[in-house]
Structure 1
Amino acid sequence: MLASLGLTELEQRVYVELLTGRATTVGELAAALGADPAEAVEGLRRHRLVGWDGERLHLTPPDLALDSLLLDRMRQLQEARLGVRDWVRSQQGGEGKDGGVEVVAGAAAVGQVFEQVLRGAQEEVLGFDRPPYRGGYHDNPTEMELLERGVRFRIVYDRRTLERPTAAQRIGACVAAGEQARVAADVPAKLAVADGQVGMLSFPGPGELPAEPWAFVMRGRPWVEVLAALFGEVWDRATPLRLSPAADEIDHRSTPTPADRQILSLVMSGLPDKAVASQLGMSLRTIQRRLRHLMDVTGSATRMQLGFFVARHDWL
């Protein structure tokens, strides 16, 4: 069984002997196995399965060590498979007409394919962005590079993403570079579709982090149309995301009207919407529609955020 993890026969014998606890030194191993274990011990150390404690060997906790070795082996095999596939494609002169669907597993493999999908885009990338994030929410320099080259990006963010530290600032930088962004309450998965030709749908692994993610990768227009249709459904229901533009960047049509200032003044004073409508002689629906418009204009997800924007930019 351990051979599938890349261990030689002697490395396996040494490891099993160490597991029994009967031998803990190179000499004891040599006596028990009838062979020089030095090379096998060094191999196990490279695999981080054993360590030295003076003259004695000790095992790294097997559940952690073997799991780490398995994931590393999966990554190596996935990289090899991707390399072979790319070589075959180059020999065949490109992807088959109908493309296909494959499954990739592991953070390294999923990240590599995601990068390939983005870098293959010439015109447009469609995407979903949602937690969980391994290692925290971070920049996507590839997107910024592609935006500079004129590739269009339409991204729907899960609302939980905006709760991540610095997320609004990082997304705002992408929006300023040309990304069209919207936000939805519950984005179903992570998604990337490039030019309607290739796409991937990524899911977190089972259980708690750091479970390894996995993804469907689809190539060829008939398959990718499924992902594009899913994106369209979520995009149409999502809310445009404008992250706190500076006061001098707001279109004059978005500047609050005198009526908007009255509504804001009453709302910020703590009056409920129904009371504001009564005071101003407007319908409740009109009050709520104007507040929704002002929230969209300022990139505010909540009334509290709208209040911060109003105070910061002296709208009252």
Structure 2
Amino acid sequence: MDQQNLTVLEEFILMGLTDRPELQAPLFGLFLVIYAVSVVGNLGMVILTTMDSRLQTPMYFFLRHLAFIDFGYSTAVGPKMLVNFVTNQNSIPYNWCAAQLAFFILFIISELFILSAMAYDRYVAICNPLLYTVIMSPRLCWVLVAVPYLYSAFLSLITTIKIFISSFCGFNVISHFYCDSLPLLTLLCSSTREIELIILIFSAFNLVSSLLVVLVSYTLILLAILRMNSAEGRRKAFSTCGSHLTVVVLLYATLTFMYVQPKSSHSFDTDKMASVFYTLIIPMLNPMIYSLRNKEVKGALCRIWKKLNKLPR
């Protein structure tokens, strides 16, 4: 075996978003605000949908898990990214890199299928309102959440283990701001064909299958809305779907841009920009979208605020 293949790496160097020193401080300030808003918004949504009795419905059950997932994958990437803006050497230990990759894959795949479950929930609510509580039972809700988590954990472990049991060439500079699978593959000495095939097949399956559920659900929802005689009924139906549809469009448009662009125009720089959007910007926007367009969430916030003000000081 080639001696080079026996190189044991103890750490990786992350190139980050930019190598221009004058941009480090402004970018640190910008992304610190973005990450802080994301953490407050998503944890706030988890706490709110847990504490308020009027939000104990399937829709808010899924929203709580979406907020937890958004918090999860932004935290897998955000803190280390912020540290790298203020340190001279952007290193990450070997095991931490593997953990970061594993958690990121776990949460990003879970998000796709939770959004699909939310689309199905909206379909049942609009197309079968009388049977909604029967169909969307607590047991089914937990199944629609647990299966994506287990499936995502399986794919995460398979991908991470396959990459990190392979031979690295000794070159440890990752052309990204976090440990992602594609930049890591460029550092391997051993054949990457099997790993690339796994990533390609499952990425395509995850995107297509989850998007198919969303498209079918919203096609049926649209047909049901068009059959409604009441303008007020149509308005309410659209309003219940608006926030979810906005979130779906943002995420899938970003992922489509990243994975469907031609190879000739594909570069790690464009990957970085797309990655910033779906790892930090979208998790920040999601709780805002659901809060600003949702009277029930606003009402719950007011009720919690009043309770806190009544507490003895």
TM exceeding 0.5: no
> Which one has more relative contact order, counting CA pairs under 8 Å at least 6 apart?
2
The structure carrying a bigger helix percent of its residues is 2
- Report the TM-score when normalising by structure 1: 0.24
**Greater C-alpha Rg:** 1
- Report the TM-score when normalising by structure 2: 0.24
